[in-house]
């Protein structure tokens, strides 16, 4: 406040001095050139002075509004927890001591409970302020490039940086898919301009190259922070666009098509029941999961963005696999859809999946057969997806009633074994051959065995404890960290 008041007083004094000098100069010129009456001379000077003062005041107001918006967004992003608005009848939930940033932390005693701490919203931050700030940042990212907000300008870079830093705060007030694709477009456009410009020799070219690299860094940082803040929204947004871009090779597209078919059959059965029965059966107004739109633009503009930002998306997925493993497990089919869409086909053909995207090799519910070039992925829903990388085609099969804990191809690729910790069952599946690059629907379960039940375990513990190892083409061993081995043959 002190600095702003000093600068404001300095500006006002400078303005008064300049107004006085301009007034004296104009008056002397007018007296020397054309004789005017005292009323006319003073009136013209007052009108010109008022117009100039109004214009300067307007510019000052616009400049102050922009600076205050940036400062407000910076404060909100740095002190997100303190600025969280409290809901009626509830108190704000703050992280325990040691989990909050040093700049945004409050002095909390170790004996105090985090759930009983008062909200900081009453100290000046309210929901409408946060909403307006988030909407302003979203507008600066989504607005087309212009002279006022250029593509690689400081305004858009600042909006990207602050959007990523405080995304937890304004995620409820912005269109998350639109923000994600706006940042991807910003990163892709800056990357394309950087590659096309080459080495700049002129000062103007060097400055433009520096601004382009700064835009790339801001978009990269914002996307990483957004993905770590909301991994489920990030993965689902990209996966829906991949499903719209290539529905034949997407497990998500197959599952959504099955849900739509099931919903249509249920609706048809309800209509038949309503016609045959005199009693009207109430229908539910809520839409099923199969009715959800794939989103995006059907493989149009956003599909082009996915193609240009493949490397960036893979880097973010690697970060999520490392930092947010449990969240990735819940959306493993969607993650594999994105990886197979973004990874280079030639690299995948020459080096395999483990080298192209090493993050998937840590999951026991993912198996790749180099002989048949098939990839099997187990899901938390009990389903598994079989990808034929030569087609590419995808087939989704229901394998268990509980989440798939582990699966593995036999050495020759003719058999696939799946294990579920939840229903304590291990199943052998016979893989049919492919004809003209199509996966045949003849894949079937040929044998199932019950396994020893175990006490409940967390998801990550199941991932680390159980593993499947083939002894020969017909026998497999279920291993656990408790040095227990169960052998099954078919």
Each residue of 42-66: pLDDT tens digit? 556 566 666 667 766 667 777 776 7
Q: Which residue has the higher pLDDT, 225 or 109?
A: 225
pLDDT band at residue 26 using 50, 70 and 90 as cut-offs: very low
Contacts of 253 (CB under 8 A, 6+ apart): 243, 244, 247, 294
The confidence score (pLDDT) of residue 436 equals 44
> What pLDDT, in 10s, does the model give residues 176-216?
999 999 999 998 887 777 666 555 567 777 788 888 888 88
Q: Which residue has the higher pLDDT, 117 or 454?
A: 454
Whether the per-residue pLDDT at 293 is higher than 80: the answer is no
Whether the per-residue pLDDT at 81 is higher than 50: the answer is yes
The confidence score (pLDDT) of residue 244 equals 86
How many whole angstroms separate alpha carbon 485 and alpha carbon 490?
17
Three-class DSSP category at 486: strand
Query: Cis peptide before 392, with omega less than 30 degrees from 0?
Result: yes
The confidence score (pLDDT) of residue 461 equals 82
How many whole angstroms separate alpha carbon 236 and alpha carbon 232?
6
Average pLDDT over residues 468-472: 92
How many whole angstroms separate alpha carbon 210 and alpha carbon 87?
44
Average pLDDT over residues 458-478: 87
Question: Whole-structure pTM over 0.85, yes or no?
Answer: no
Percent of the chain with pLDDT over 70: 63
pLDDT band at residue 476 using 50, 70 and 90 as cut-offs: very high
Q: Is 356 within 8 Å of 365 (Cβ atoms)?
A: no
Whether the per-residue pLDDT at 344 is higher than 90: the answer is no
- Region of poorest pLDDT, from 56-65, 305-314, 388-397: 56-65
Token pair for residue 447?
A: 């044998």
The confidence score (pLDDT) of residue 286 equals 33
Percent of the chain with pLDDT over 90: 25
The confidence score (pLDDT) of residue 82 equals 66
Q: Which of 408, 387, 386 is nearest to 397 (CA)?
A: 386
Reduce the secondary structure of 327-342 to three states and give it as a string: HHHHCHHHHHHHHHHH
Q: Which of 332, 346, 352, 341 is nearest to 308 (CA)?
A: 341
Question: If you search the block for the tokens 């803040």, which residue do you land on?
Answer: 229
Could you say which DSSP state residue 119 is in?
A: P
In this structure, how many other beta carbons lie within 10 angstroms of the beta carbon of residue 328? 22
Contacts of 490 (CB under 8 A, 6+ apart): 415, 428, 446, 447, 474, 475
The confidence score (pLDDT) of residue 90 equals 40
How many whole angstroms separate alpha carbon 338 and alpha carbon 252?
10
Q: Is 466 within 8 Å of 480 (Cβ atoms)?
A: yes
Q: 444 - beta bridge partners?
A: 430
């Amino acid at each position: 406040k002190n600095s702003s008041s000093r600068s404001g007083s300095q500006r006002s004094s400078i303005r008064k001095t300049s107004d006085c000098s301009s007034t004296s100069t104009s008056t002397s010129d007018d007296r020397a050139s054309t004789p005017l009456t005292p009323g006319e001379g003073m009136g013209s000077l007052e009108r010109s002075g008022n117009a100039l003062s109004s214009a300067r005041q307007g510019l000052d107001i616009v400049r102050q509004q922009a600076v205050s918006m940036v400062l407000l967004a910076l404060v909100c992003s740095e002190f997100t927890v303190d600025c969280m608005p409290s809901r009626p009848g509830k108190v704000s939930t703050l992280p325990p001591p040691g989990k909050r940033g040093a700049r945004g932390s409050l002095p909390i005693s170790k004996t105090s409970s985090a759930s009983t701490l008062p909200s900081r919203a009453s100290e000046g931050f309210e929901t409408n302020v946060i909403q307006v700030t988030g909407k302003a940042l979203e507008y600066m990212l989504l607005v087309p490039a212009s002279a006022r907000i250029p593509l690689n300008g400081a305004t858009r870079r600042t909006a990207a940086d602050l959007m990523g830093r405080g995304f937890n705060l304004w995620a409820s007030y912005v269109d998350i898919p639109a923000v994600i694709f706006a940042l991807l477009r910003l990163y892709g456009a800056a990357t394309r301009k950087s590659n096309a410009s080459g080495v700049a020799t002129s000062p103007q070219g060097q400055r433009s190259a520096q601004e382009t690299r700064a835009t790339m860094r801001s978009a990269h940082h914002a996307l990483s922070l957004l993905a770590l803040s909301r991994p489920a929204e990030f993965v689902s947004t990209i996966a829906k666009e991949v499903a719209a871009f290539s529905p034949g090779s997407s497990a998500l597209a197959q599952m959504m098509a099955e849900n739509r078919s099931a919903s249509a059959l249920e609706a048809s059965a309800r209509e038949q029941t309503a016609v045959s029965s005199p009693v009207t059966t109430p229908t539910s107004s809520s839409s099923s999961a199969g009715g959800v739109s794939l989103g995006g633009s059907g493989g149009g503009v956003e599909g082009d963005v996915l193609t240009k930002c493949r490397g960036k998306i893979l880097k973010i997925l690697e970060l999520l696999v490392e930092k947010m493993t449990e969240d990735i497990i819940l959306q493993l089919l969607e993650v594999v859809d994105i990886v197979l869409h973004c990874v280079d086909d030639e690299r995948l053909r020459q080096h395999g999946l483990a080298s192209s995207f090493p993050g998937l090799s840590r999951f026991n519910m993912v198996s790749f057969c180099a002989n048949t070039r098939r990839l099997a992925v187990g899901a938390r829903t009990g389903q598994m997806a079989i990808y034929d990388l030569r087609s590419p085609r995808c087939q989704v099969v229901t394998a268990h009633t509980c989440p798939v804990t582990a699966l593995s191809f036999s050495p020759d690729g003719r058999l696939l074994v799946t294990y579920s910790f939840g229903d304590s069952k291990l199943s052998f599946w016979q893989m049919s051959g492919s004809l003209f690059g199509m996966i045949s629907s003849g894949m079937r379960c040929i044998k199932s065995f019950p396994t020893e039940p175990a006490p409940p375990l967390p998801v990550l513990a199941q991932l680390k404890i159980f593993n499947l190892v083939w002894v020969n083409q017909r026998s497999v061993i279920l291993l656990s960290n408790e040095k227990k081995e169960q052998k099954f043959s078919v």
